Amino acid sequence: MKFLDIRTDFAFKKVFGSEDSKTRLISFLNSVIVFENSAKIIDLTIVDPYNIPMLKGMKDTYVDVKAVLDNQSKVIIEMQVLNHDGFEKRILYNAAKNYSMQLRKSEDYHLLNPIIALTIVDFIMFKEFDKIISNFKLIEKKDFITYNDDLEMIFIELPKFNKSLEELDGIQDQWLYFIKNSGSLEYIPHDMEPTVNSAFEISNTASLSPEELELQFKKKEFIYIQKASLAYAEQKGELRGELRGELRGELRGELKGKIEMALSLLKMGVDINIISESSGLSVNEILKLTQ
């Protein structure tokens, strides 16, 4: 038995953004989002449901699923597998854009509904702490008073989740384990919640059409190539930095030796032209040493 790697845009949207994904998406969101007064999502509407032709572009390494909650709040769920310059700004911009686009010309601001941007990343974003799920809001810097609850950004860093199957504790752990590990599993783990079980079932590759299997293969291949390219670029950058450092060190040492030789010869009263030929320094450089 094989399962889709949920970290690809095709698989993520199939599991959480299809017409029949409502129960799974509610379960997942309730497990990772903490609402005031222990409130829970009861109902939602999936915006722009999963559609194979719409996912055929290869240029993106992320996908988003949008849902409108029963209180009219909008949740933007995004899976991002590759880090890039401006990523954090794009998340903020996307959340702000979805917030501002709710109003038409001349409509009142009180009609604006909250936006929650939930981003799952397959890389480390915040090295400052070890927690897997982090939550950001607009607050006063000194006294931490909330300015407004309408804009909220939640990040889930998958590399920080390292629990084994035996260590899972509760529905949140089960969902994170599924998202991170489904592509490498060969069976549905025991004692999973029904909604997580349904996610395994829909991501079972045996139930996919040939078109879906081909699309998943292309998506995984594309992401692999992008990751390999980034790793290669980083490796080359580090190597260039090392070579530059070594070269600078060698040049500094060589120049220091020339200067020391020139100073010694100057003290001995040797002619400047002879010093220039011996040390490799120009006459002007030697004249500056005399000053």
Question: What does the pLDDT look like over 245-284, one tens digit per residue?
Answer: 666 666 676 777 778 777 877 777 777 877 777 677 788 8
Please indicate, yes or no, if residue 89 is contained in any of the structural domains. yes
Please indicate, yes or no, if residue 224 is contained in any of the structural domains. no
pLDDT for res 153? 94
Dihedral over Cα of 114, 38, 201, 12: its sign: positive
Structural domain count of the chain: 1
Angle, helix 171-181 to helix 194-202, in steps of 10 degrees: 10
Domain hosting 49: range is 9-208
**Average of per-residue pLDDT values in the chain:** 81
Please indicate, yes or no, if residue 46 is contained in any of the structural domains. yes
Please indicate, yes or no, if residue 222 is contained in any of the structural domains. no
Please indicate, yes or no, if residue 150 is contained in any of the structural domains. yes
Confidence of residue 59 (pLDDT cuts 50, 70, 90): very low
Residue 213 half-sphere exposure, CB side, CA atoms within 13 Å? 9
Tokens (6 digits) for 43: 């109902």
Confidence of residue 231 (pLDDT cuts 50, 70, 90): low
Confidence of residue 6 (pLDDT cuts 50, 70, 90): confident
- The kind and range of the H/E element at 59 are none
pLDDT for res 228? 58
Please state the separation of Cα 105 from the chain's center in Å.
35
pLDDT for res 273? 76
The residues, any chain, with a CB within 8 Å of residue 125's CB and separated by 6 or more, are 83, 88, 155, 157
Confidence of residue 181 (pLDDT cuts 50, 70, 90): very high
Please indicate, yes or no, if residue 276 is contained in any of the structural domains. no
150 torsion bin: left (phi>0), alpha (psi -120 to 50), beta (else): alpha
